[in-house]
A and B are shown apart, each in its own frame.
Chain A
Amino acid sequence: MESLLLSAQIAWVHLVSKPKQTLIAMLGVTFGIGMFIAMVSMMTGLNDLTEQLAMTSSPDIRIYHDITTERVSIAEKLNPGGITYVHHQKPKNESIKVRGALKMAESIRQHPEVKGASVLLNSQVFYNYGPVQLNGTIAGVDILEEDKLFDLKSKMKEGRIENLITNQDGILMGTGLAKKLNVRAGDRVVITTPQGFTKTLKIVGLFQMGIGAVDNVKSYASLGMVQTILEKEKSYITDINVKLFDFKRAKAIAPSLQQAFGYKAEDWETANATMLLGVIIRNILTYSVAITLLVVAGFGIYNILSITIHNKLKDIAILKAMGFAGKDVKQIFMIQSLVIGFIGSVMGLIIGFVLSLLISKAPFDGGDFLSIDHLPVNFSSTYYFIGIVFGILTTALAGYLPSRKAAHVDPIEILRG
């Protein structure tokens, strides 16, 4: 312990007697860690936002009747193992109705990991804006059930979700769509179904999910009303949306639901695969850039420490002659590299934090797709912890080789002069 203290004192004298060299070595680490923090904060901020938006725009698990699922042709079914091959088979003319959806939803709600399940009826519609027809969708829902899943109340910009219950012909419209149609709450809008059915509805509220893909096309209406305009029976339901307590479990649970009910169960990750691909790419980018920076900083430390040791061969020989052992000498230089690594990393964390702060304050227009005015930045302490651990590990590694060399210096070779 005392010898460690003595080594630290000697290391300290070495560091402060060459302040410029020490500072340059530290700045290498600072730059690496600072960039890592800034990048990782921004990238994970974006990732979190993307994930959150993916969550908002789709339920954890969506159950529907996938009529495009590949099916075995009759010819192949009747002659298994034969040479028959049916090319370019088209889907059957099936209804996309999910049979027994209400019962199904009821039994899904019993699942211990399920937070809620709601049934809905989704349809393409045209929103008429004078002579122009805007393509969009309408979702017939039990609005209270839907609110439990998606927290719609907090997303309302105008009006209240309960208006949909009191008003049979009411709809809640996405803000982007309302803007395109130049309408406000209280206005009327005419919609046309693909089957040609036309109806005038009253806008009783506006919502904003924060994602263009939803806000620019979607409206909510009561389930009964949508069944009416589609001219379908009361049990006609196309989707069951499922919300879990832990959304990360969706991928694991979806297949079991598909198995149990015989309908397609799609988890949110699969549904938003393209969007989430960005997350993976950003992660790869962040970590490869950060590791490159740290390796470069590591080489810098290796270099500077090697030069220091070369310049101090005489001192090392004198120390050894006075009775310092190889491990004491190693300790002296290891301490130097760790001090460089620690101070450099801490400065890097500070710089990284300031950079992240600046990024988070800079105005940024998310355009049509995202309704954000600043870049999202993640200030999670985890990355600061990773940063300092990485910084110190790199410098320890970079310092180890030259330090070991110093430990093996033969004092006699140097003292013979």
Chain B
Amino acid sequence: MSVLRAHKLSKYFYEPEKFQVLKDVDLTVERGQFMALVGKSGCGKSTLMYILSTMDTQYQGELEIAGTRLTDQDQNFLAAFRNKHIGFVFQFHYLLPEFTVLQNVMLPALKLGNKGKEEVEANAMEKLNMLGMKEHATKLSSKLSGGQQQRVAIARALINNPDIIMGDEPTGNLDSYNSDLVFEIFQELTHTYQQTIIAVTHDASFAKRSDRVVEMSDGKIINGF
């Protein structure tokens, strides 16, 4: 059963000149799949991820996630949808610097508002523990190293148990020990809990061990349809 379907996605940039970044991209991802997205720098991976994550709405084509058509929906709907169904780990930016690690992880769950504060806090602690960040829970997030921040960002992406977790080089800043840790977590989430992962990566061994590798080049998917 597919959890994400993208049909003929095209994206143009008009600055500094008209330029087609994505060219009729078709992509279907099954529930419980751990998918790696690879490709040369500048081929359009991040651009595609922003569209799949519903944050970028300036595209042509169709997007459907968890049975909901997301093309042409308004911003408020998409925000609520992201909150519930999508967890995202960015390539460069991670956390809110004035909040503690724990608060950062809790925020999406508090926004969702399904659970009480104590329960959210317990869940957040559990996720942090999973990523080896429990001891840092009360620290201000701006006081963490890049790799630590990235792990907290992963914990935050998991907090609402979303259908899809999207990561743009989620292990880019991590050493091999933590990179393996994240890989194992992702594997457990997909295989045991039927969540779906789409992760952009430059790490060949990380990609090789995933369920499916999709390769992009110059705005098109050239391998792993």
Contacts and interface: CB of A to CB of B under 8 A. Distances in A.
Contacts of B90: 318, 321, 415
Contacts, number: 77
Contacts of A318: 90, 93-96
Nearest to A317: B93
Interface in A154-195: none
A395 B75 CA distance: 28
Nearest to B97: A315
Classify chain A's interface size.
Answer: 20 to 34
Given A17-B98, A323-B82, A412 B111 contact: no
Interface string A1-41: 01100100010011001000000000000000000000000
A325 B95 contact: no
Contacts of A416: 46, 50
Given A321-B55, A322-B111, A14 B98 contact: yes
A318 B149 CA distance: 14
Residue from A2, A320, A321, A322 having most chain B Cβ neighbours under 10 A: A322
Interface in A379-417: 411-412, 414-417
B206 interface: no
A322 B93 contact: no
Interface in B71-115: 75-76, 79-84, 88, 90-99, 103, 107-108, 110-113
A320 B55 contact: yes
A323 B83 contact: yes
Nearest to B77: A325
B203 interface: no
Contacts of B220: none
B211 interface: no
B98 A324 contact: no
B56 interface: yes
Interface in B169-198: none
Given A321-B55, A324-B111, A417 B84 contact: no
Interface of A: 2-3, 6, 10, 13-14, 17, 314-315, 317-328, 411-412, 414-417
16 contacts: A6-B111, A6-B113, A13-B99, A314-B93, A315-B97, A318-B95, A321-B53, A321-B82, A322-B111, A322-B156, A323-B112, A324-B79, A324-B83, A327-B76, A328-B79, A416-B50
Given A323-B84, A324-B111, 10 more contacts: A6-B107, A315-B96, A319-B96, A319-B107, A321-B82, A323-B83, A326-B79, A415-B90, A415-B93, A417-B93
